[in-house]
Structure 1
């Protein structure tokens, strides 16, 4: 199966940091002169997921495979830096392509990557679009952003489903198990009513994920707190633990790029009581021994994002929130016409502002 849709080209950008695979769509005429959109995928995916969106946009677009995903080199991930290994890689690619002040769109973990980029290389960012972004305080935090436990109990590499990780590593494209990548796509990446003609392509994208302690899910360490493990220092899931990640510095950016926040109303991954949260699983009896609401409350991920973006707006930034009713974790796949319209309006407004 070809993984590239007609009109999409792939190339390799070699930087001092990494060999990075990049998808591009170029346009002729006036559209080709417009500021490009740079698309950053989330966990257990790759740039392949963005191809229909790239083809629908009326401007140049670039989608970057993060390290350990797609066709980029599987360099180890230092989770002690939060998402900075990823954001520094993206910055290196943009520098190599001689691009600055681009529109950045980040999906899920990628939403954290583009915010991290805005914190350390703000000159690269003309606008931000955050689709189902990782919560800004990281995982394992209370409503106010403080850690539930100092070691981030229940977060990081120990939270990866061993069967799912094994099936990823084996390249399992079947739907014979609820822990297969295909089954996880159907149950978690999209809403329950969505059927996708490109599902085989999306599963092939998921299967490019590098696995192990330096990649997905990462390492972990024992914890005296329920459920018995805490965040480690290596690999993908640890980058998003509240032990290592804090994106709230965007509130204090001097030059605040306009932000579009897009989310699905039926997102199974990022939500105020997500079943990808060990505390939620404990509350509902899926993981035994839950110590109760006071010690381990389900994380209010949507409320946390809204809190930080409200403060961003109060400090002079522009924020637009769009909720896609019935959509899951991937509104750009589930309601592409509306997504393209909303994104186009956001980019046009950002360019008028500039």
Structure 2
């Protein structure tokens, strides 16, 4: 059977760590590259089972984004949205001599591969989005077209992170004494309780590779006169996702429209129309004081709107909702996820 191999690859931008499924002896030959991009506060480790399950005709590669896992922790320029990550990915594929690849992105990684598609459509064979961030960013918008709640993006960016979670992440906490410990966030937000993921200790260790600080997670922030009083800064992870910096709402205008599959857990509490990580939704529930009526971000409706435009322009789009699954569908429901992924890969190979 295949084995997993970790190595660091020097690229024109930085040295990146990748996780590969090595083929069995005697099975070498041309294979289609499938590149997996993890989400926030995680690493390539979250893709281990997926990499091993792919048929031999594919070349599965999972990358650690900058500031996560074993990749160089270069600062993140959030004013470029997710382009630092997308450009890093392009540099990696250049170094690996991969001219065209199937891309699979989870959560924030979904935004990274959307940006990659936006900038390099001809190099994208297919796109699989796993509970992806909205094409209109995370937080600070309303309506299916991602209208800003305030010009400064109030309610999004580095200042929206829970400080206790950031502290426990910085301290390398591996316990579950606090509901905001990485282990408890994994068990209650990444997957749907009461299930606990296999290899939980490895996944917690993966989360703890996240670099913490203004240049990384969560990033800096600025004060705002608009509720809830914080707006995006210019550095770090959460600011990359702010709607003032990240927006890919014109995918339907691309000259090439690779097939797109959107796979999501129906019980996701992170990327949702009622996200527990959206300050506007928390305000509406009374969990955050001073709420002024700002509507919650309809994250699913926004993704559906953007992909609907893509489909009407001629792109092939599938939406697959997995009942009983949370944010990490590929971890929770590997068989269902794998079947949907293989169908997308087959379709992308024909385009």
TM-score range relative to shorter protein: over 0.9
Deviation at 1:132, TM superposition (A): 0.5
The equivalent residue for 1:283 is 284
Give the structure 2 partner of residue 192 of structure 1. 193
CA contact (8 A) 1:42 1:111 kept: yes
Q: Is the 8 A contact 1:99 1:124 kept in 2?
A: no
Equivalent residue in structure 2 for 1:18, among 14, 18, 34: 14
Provide the C-alpha distance between the structure 1 equivalents of 2:259 and 2:73, rounded to a whole number of angstroms: 33
Gap runs ≥5 in structure 1 = none
**Distance in structure 1 (CA, Å) of the matches to 2:133 and 2:215:** 20
What's the secondary structure of 1:244's corresponding residue? coil
Instruction: Determine the C-alpha separation between the residues in 2 that align with 1:188 and 1:23.
Output: 25
Q: Is the 8 A contact 2:121 2:255 kept in 1?
A: no
Displacement of 1:193 in angstroms is 3.4
| 1:117 aligned counterpart, secondary structure | helix
Q: 1:120: how far off?
A: 1.3
Q: Which moved more, 1:221-230 or 1:342-351?
A: 342-351
Selected match of 2:39 from 39, 42, 48:
42
2:319 is the counterpart of 1:318: no
State the distance in 2 between where 1:68 and 1:124 align: 25
Show the counterpart of 2:62: 63
Unaligned 5+ segments in structure 2 are none
Larger CA deviation: 58-67 vs 186-195: 186-195
2: CA distance, partners of 1:236 / 1:311:
28
**Conserved in 1, the CA contact under 8 Å of 2:141 and 2:148?**
yes
Matched with 1:93 is 92
Query: How far 1:194 moved relative to its partner?
Result: 2.0
User: 2:106 & 2:316 partners in 1: Cα distance?
Assistant: 19
Q: Report the counterpart of residue 142 of structure 2 in structure 1.
A: 142
How many residues align? The count is 346
User: Does residue 1:116 correspond to 2:115, yes or no?
Assistant: yes
- For residue 30 of structure 1, report the CA deviation from its aligned partner: 6.2
> Superposed, which structure 2 residues align to 1:322-337 within 5 Å?
322-337=320-335
- The CA deviation string for residues 277-297 of structure 1, in whole angstroms up to 9 with x for no partner, is 0000000111100001xxx10
Question: Once the 2 structures are TM-superposed, how far is the Cα of residue 21 of structure 1 from its aligned partner?
Answer: 0.4
Matches within 5 A, 1:193-272: 193-272=194-273
Q: Residue 133 in 1 paired to residue 129 in 2?
A: no
CA distance in 2, matches of 1:97, 1:123: 17
User: Is the 8 Å Cα contact of residues 267 and 323 (structure 2) preserved in structure 1?
Assistant: yes
* 2:191–2:197 contact (8 Å) kept in structure 1: no
| 1:225-278 C-alpha deviation (Å, 9 max, x unpaired) | 011110111000000010101111211111001001000000010001111000
- Displacement of 1:299 in angstroms is 0.6
Does structure 2 retain, via aligned residues, the 8 Å contact 1:100–1:123? Answer: no
Question: C-alpha distance in 2, partners of 1:6/1:169?
Answer: 35
Whether the 8 Å CA contact 2:33–2:100 is kept in 1: the answer is: no
Q: Tell me, what secondary structure is at the counterpart of 1:105?
A: strand
Structure 1, residues 50-91: CA drift from partner, whole Å, max 9, x if none?
A: 000000011220000000000001110000000000000000
Q: Cα offset for 1:32?
A: 5.0
Q: Quote the Cα distance in structure 1 between the aligned partners of 2:243 and 2:197.
A: 34
Q: Secondary structure at the match of 1:272?
A: coil
Match of 2:338 in 1: 340
Alpha-carbon distance, 1:41 to partner? 0.4
